[in-house]
Amino acid sequence: MNKDLAKALSDQVNAEYYSAYLYLSMSSAADQAGLKGIAHWLFVQAQEEMAHGTNIYQYILARGETPAFPAIDAPPSNFSDAKKLFDEVLAHEQLVTGRLNKIATMAMQAHDHSCYQFILWYVNEQVEEEESATDIVNKLAMIGDNKGLLLNLDKELAARTFVNPFPNMFQ
Ligand code: FEO
């Protein structure tokens, strides 16, 4: 694998772990606001992000490259309300999509078909990531200031379960 691509993948591990940090920070804010279902949804999201990052780390090693470990940025910790929080989730996922598309283009240009194939899983996963965030943003826009409806959505989001998309990762 060329060194630029290896660095881009290492940076993506960092970005996935930053995403996990961001969602944990959001989860704790929701928990403290009494929105336990939203806190749970974000906690599951953070677990997914760690799985995404770990899987890329393992791929870097499998390709004989040395992963780098740059510092993970501190996430914000103040979120004014659920709607604004999920606006930020959606904006963040759109940013991640842009990053992954860039890596896919780099892999394509390097004729690294394995890396291209590997990163395509992530590119496609972003469709679902953006769709679920958009769905929640739209619901929160409809809910407005109605606390009862917000609690209904909170209950709905409490039902999310974590399924590791890479079940052999820790074996
Ligand atoms: Fe790892 Fe939210 O994408």
Residue among 124, 138, 137, 101 at smallest CA distance from 8? 101
Beta strands in 67-121 (DSSP E): none
CB-ligand 1 contact for 22 (6 Å cutoff): no
In short, whether 100's Cβ falls inside 6 Å of ligand 1 is no
16 lines ligand 1 (CB under 6 A): yes
| Nearest protein Cα to ligand 1, atom 1 | 49
Closest by Cα among 125, 124, 151 to 37 = 151
Q: For ligand 1, is residue 96 a contact (CB within 6 Å)?
A: yes
User: Using CA atoms, how far apart are residues 146 and 142, in angstroms rounded to an integer?
Assistant: 9
Digit-by-digit pLDDT tens for the chain (171 residues) are 999 999 999 999 999 999 999 999 999 999 999 999 999 999 999 999 999 999 999 999 999 999 999 999 999 999 989 999 999 999 999 999 999 999 999 999 999 999 999 999 999 999 999 999 999 999 999 999 999 999 999 999 999 999 999 988 877
Question: What's the rounded Cα separation, in Å, for the pair 71 and 112?
Answer: 28
pTM higher than the cut 0.75: yes
Which residues contact residue 131 at a Cβ distance below 8 angstroms, ignoring those fewer than 6 apart? Answer: none
H/E stretch holding 81 reads none
Token representation of residue 11? 């940076």
Tell how far the Cα of 105 is from the centroid of ligand 1, in angstroms.
18
